[in-house]
Structure 1
Amino acid sequence: MTIDVMMPFYGDVDQFRQAVTSVLDQTDPDLRLVVVDDCFPDPTPAEWLLALDDARVEYLRNETNLGVNGNFRRCVDLVVADWFVVMGCDDLMHPDYLSTVRTLARHHPGAAVIAPGVDVIDESGRPVAPLGDRIKSVLAPSRAAELSGERLATSLYHGNWTYFPSLLWRTKAVREVGFRPGLEIVLDLALLVDLASAGGSLVHDPEVVFSYRRHRASVSSVQAVDGRRFAEENQFFDDEARRCEARGWPKAARAARWHATSRLNHLQARVGAGIGRLRGRPAH
C-alpha cells in the first residue's frame, strides 16, 4: 500500500530540506512524495530536490500562486493512492512515522483518519510547549482510541487536538465528503467533523512519530493576531451548533456553542498583541 505524501511548498529552504529528508529516510520506503511548489521565487529548492534523483519524488510547480489553502486543495486533488498525508514543508516525520500509521490503518480498516502522537518544535528544531499545545495534549485521548460520530465531534469541538500535517487520510472518505468552500483556518476541523457526520472514524495512537513546527510566520499565528482566525472560528462554531442540534447530537451542540479552547486562544492572542504593542514589537 503506497502512501502519497503531498507537500505544498513555499517557505524556508533549510526547513524544506529537513522535511523532505525526513520523508525519504522513513524505515518504510513505500511512498510517493509530491512537492507542489507555489511559485517560490528561488529556484534552489527545486534544483536540490531534482538532484536527489529519487524515483519516489515528484516535483510540480503551480502556474500561479494559489496561496496556502489553494495549494493544499491542489495537493489533495493530485492524490492517487488510497491513503495520503498533506505534510507541512517545515515539519518532520520521525523515521517510523509511515510504518506506524500504516499499521494502524491496517488494523482499523474502517477508519477515515489516523492521528498519531505529535511533539512540537520551534524554528530551530528545539522542543517547545506553548499553552495552546499543552491544552491540545490534555484534550487528546491519553491512550489508543477509535472515535466516531457524536463522540468524535464533541471531542473536537471542545478543542481540535489534532495536528493536520501529521494526519493520514483515507482518500475515498475525503473525496466523498469534500471540502467546505469559504473556509481558510478551520478547513481541517470542518473536514474531520463532516467525516464524523458521514460515519467515518478517527483512530488515535499517542506514540509520538511526528514533529510539528510552531513559529510566528505560520498562517494561524499571523491570523490569530489580526483577528481573522477567530472571526471565521466564531461563525463556524455557531453554524456547527445548529447543525448538531438538527442532527440530534446535543452534547456536540453544547461543545460547539461553548468552543472554550477557541475562546481561550483568542484571549491569549489579544493579550499577547497588547503586550507586544506596549513593548513596541510584534506579539509572539
Structure 2
Amino acid sequence: MVTFDFMLPYYGDVRLMQDAVRSVLAQTDPDFRLVVIDDGKEPEVPGWFERLGDDRVHYTRNEQNLGITKNFQKCARLSEADYVVIMGCDDLLHPHYLETVRAVIGDHPGIGMVQPGVDVIDGEGRVTQGLADHTKKRLYAPQVQGRRVMGGEELAASVLRGNWLYFPSIAWRGEALREVNFRDDYSVIQDLALVVDLLESGERMVIDHSTTVFQYRRHAVSESSVQAFSGTRFAEAERYFAAVAARMDARGWPKAARAARFHSASRLHALTMLPGALRRGHREGARTLARHAFTSGQS
C-alpha cells in the first residue's frame, strides 16, 4: 500500500496552522505521517503539539529561521514516504483528500504528480474566486472533465504560459521530489521551477477535477505592503523565465520556450500591481513592474 507524508512548513498564524493540522488528522484514510517543521518562535506551539498525543504527528522547530525556500528543501529532504504533500500552514484538506489521491495513484501507478480539485478560500475561510483564480481557470488551466494525464512539453508550455497549479495541494512522488528538490536561487517562483524540473526528468501529472478535496487559502494583498509592490518577485521571475527558455530551446521544446519568453500570466499580474505601486510611491518597484508587464523575451 502506498504511504503518505504530509509535510507542513510552518511560520505565521498559530490558529490557522492548528486548523490545517486538524484537517490532516480528520482524514478518512488514517495511513499517513504528518511532519511539522516550525520556522517560527511562537511559545505555545511546541506544547500544543505535545498535547495532541498522536503518534502520526512529528514536530520539530528549527534552531534558526531558515526562510521559505530552505524550509521547503528541508521538508523534501526529511520526507520518507512514497508520496508527499507539502501543504501550506493555513490551507485545509477535505476529509477525503488522502482517500481520493490514493485512488488516483492506484489507477496511475508511479505517477509523478497529482493535482486534485481545489477550492480557493479567503482569510476567513469563505470559498471565493478573485481575479487571479478566475484568470487561472479561464485562460490558462487546461479544460479537464474528470481526469487527464499531462507531461513533457505540453504541460511545461502550459504552466510556463500561466502557472495554474495549486502547489500546496499537489501530491508528489517522493523519490522524484527528494532527488530534484527546490532550487536554491528562487524564493517566490520555486514551485513552478520544481514542476518544470520534474517534467524535464520525465515525470507526468494527473489532473483530477472529478471532486474537490483541498482548500487553498488566498489572503488579500495589503495596499500598504511594501514587498507586494516592490517588484522584487517580478525581477526574480524575469531571471527564471530567461533561464528556463534557454533550457527549453536546448531540450527541443520550442512551444515551452516561447511560453517562457512571453510568460503572459506573469506579465498580466505585474500589470495589475502597477497602479498600486504608483499610488504608494514605489517608483523603483513601478519601473520593475512596468518593464516586466510591457516587455518579453520574444525574438
**TM-score (structure 1 length as normaliser):** 0.92
Alignment of 1:25-36 (within 5 A): 25-36=26-37
Matches within 5 A, 1:169-184: 169-184=172-187
Aligned to 2:84: 84
C-alpha distance in 2 between matches for 1:275 and 1:208: 38
CA RMSD between the two structures:
1.8
User: What are the equivalent positions in structure 2 for 1:179-258 lying under 5 Å apart?
Assistant: 179-206=182-209, 207-216=211-220, 223-258=227-262
Structure 2 counterpart SS, 1:111: coil
Counterpart for residue 59 of structure 1: 59
CA contact (8 A) 1:110 1:200 kept: no
Q: Distance in 1 between matches of 2:262 and 2:121?
A: 29
TM superposition shift of 1:241? 1.4
* Structure 2 CA distance for partners of 1:254 and 1:7, relative to 1, 3 Å: same
Q: CA separation in 2, counterparts of 1:136 and 1:184?
A: 21
Indicate whether 1:135 and 2:135 are aligned: yes
Instruction: Say if 1:27 and 1:96, in contact at 8 Å, map to a contact too.
Output: yes
Give the whole-Å Cα distance in 1 for the aligned partners of 2:80 and 2:245: 35
Deviates more, 1:174-183 or 1:229-238: 174-183
In the alignment, the residues of structure 1 paired with residue 212 and residue 280 of structure 2 have an alpha-carbon distance, to the nearest angstrom, of 33
1:271-282 correspondence to structure 2 within 5 Å: 271-275=275-279
Is this contact kept in 1: 2:70–2:184, CA < 8 A? no
* Corresponding pairs, count: 275
Cα distance in 1 for residues equivalent to 2:245 and 2:227: 23
CA drift of 1:272 comes to 3.0
Displacement of 1:133: 1.0
C-alpha distance after superposition, 1:250-274 (max 9, x if no partner): 1111111110000000111122333
CA contact (8 A) 2:76 2:181 kept: no
Aligned to 1:8: 9
Q: 1:215 to 1:83 in 2, by over 3 A?
A: same
Structure 1 contact 224–266 (Cα < 8 Å) conserved: no
Deviation at 1:275, TM superposition (A): 4.4
- Separation of aligned partners in 2, 1:18 and 1:222: 29
Are residues 115 and 149 of structure 1, via their aligned partners in 2, closer, same or farther at CA, if it must alter by over 3 Å? same
Give the match for residue 23 of structure 2: 22
Structure 1: runs of 5 or more not aligned: 279-284
Mapped to 2, the partners of 1:22 and 1:107 lie a distance apart of 25
Q: Find the aligned partners of 1:57 and 1:274 in 2 and give their Cα distance.
A: 46
Cα distance in 2 between the residues matched to 1:84 and 1:14: 24
Whole-angstrom distance in 1 between the partners of 2:184 and 2:41: 28
Q: Distance in 2 between matches of 1:186 and 1:126?
A: 26
Paired letter, 2:255:
K
Aligned-partner Cα distance in 2 for 1:274–1:31: 48
Q: Give the match's secondary structure for 1:32.
A: strand
| Distance across 1 between alignment mates of 2:271 and 2:174 | 36
Go from structure 1 to structure 2 and tell me whether the alpha carbon gap of 1:182 and 1:23 turns closer, same or farther (over 3 Å shift). Answer: same
Give, in angstroms, the shift of residue 222 of structure 1: 6.8
How far apart, CA to CA, are the structure 2 residues paired with 1:165 and 1:190? Answer: 14
Q: How does 1:35-114 map to 2 (within 5 A)?
A: 35-38=36-39, 40-114=40-114
Q: 2:31 is aligned with what amino acid?
A: D
- Show the counterpart of 2:294: none
Report the more deviating stretch, 18-27 or 130-139: 130-139
Q: What is the Cα deviation at residue 141 of structure 1?
A: 2.6
Q: In the aligned structure 1, how far is the partner of 2:47 from the partner of 2:230?
A: 36
The 5 Å alignment of 1:254-265 reads: 254-265=258-269
TM-superposed CA distance for 1:155, in Å, is 0.6
CA–CA distance in structure 1, aligned partners of residues 109 and 265 of structure 2? 32
> Residue by residue, what CA displacement relative to the aligned partner does 1:203-238 show, whole Å, maximum 9, x if unpaired?
1111211011111479xx874422111111111111
Using structure 2 for the length normalisation, give the TM-score. 0.87
Does structure 2 conserve the Cα–Cα contact (< 8 Å) formed by 1:110 and 1:201? no
